[in-house]
A = this chain, B = another copy of it.
Amino acid sequence: MKRTSMEGVMCPVARSLDVIGDWWSLLIVRDAQSGLRRFGEFQKSLGVAKNILAQRLRHLVEHGILETQPASDGSAWQEYVLTEKGRSLFPILVALGQWGQQHCFEAGEPRTRVLDKAHGQPVKPLEVRAADGRVLTVQDVRLERPPPQG
C-alpha cells in the first residue's frame, strides 16, 4: 500500500501537507509556539499516546521543524524547540485558528483566543494581498503551473 507521498509534486500546498499534514503535527507545533518544550508537557497537553508522540516528534525533527537541545533547567533531559522553519508556521496556525473560530463554534461557546501581547486585543483577520496591497479573494488569483520539464 503506502500512504501516498507528494514529494515529487509541484504544488507547494501538497508539499506542506506531506510534512505537517497529519493530525498531530500541527498541534504539537502549536503547543511548541506557546512555549512547551518537554515530552511530558506535550503528552499532557495533547492527550496523545506516547508512541505516537515520539513518532511525530522524530518526524518533526527530521524535517527541521523542531530540534532537540539539552534541557534549559540543567537536568540531563532534552527539550524540543522550534527552528526558524517551525516558527514560520505561525501564519498557518493563525489562519486555522481564525477559520475554526468563525466556523466551528456555537455563538456563545467559550474558546481560546490569540491576543496581541501589547494591548490584549485579538489579532486582525488575515488578508491575502496583492503586491500593490489590494485585498484578494480566490476569484482574484490564478495558478501558474510551470511548463512540463521535458
Contact = CB atoms under 8 A, between A and B. Distances in A.
Interface of A: 3-4, 10-19, 21-23, 26-27, 30, 33-34, 47-48, 64, 85, 87-105, 110-119, 121-124, 126-134, 136-147, 149
Contacts of A145: 112
Contacts of A141: 114-117, 123
Given A26-B13, A100-B13, A124-B129, A117 B142 contact: yes
With most chain B CB atoms within 10 A of its CB, the pick from A91, A117, A119, A149 is A91
Contact of A85 (B14, B87, B103, B122): B103
Given A91-B126, A91-B128, A128-B91, A110 B149 contact: yes
A87 B128 CA distance: 13
25 contacts: A10-B112, A11-B111, A13-B93, A13-B97, A13-B100, A15-B104, A16-B97, A16-B103, A17-B23, A17-B27, A19-B100, A90-B137, A91-B127, A92-B95, A95-B126, A110-B147, A112-B143, A113-B144, A114-B142, A119-B132, A121-B130, A123-B129, A124-B128, A124-B129, A124-B133
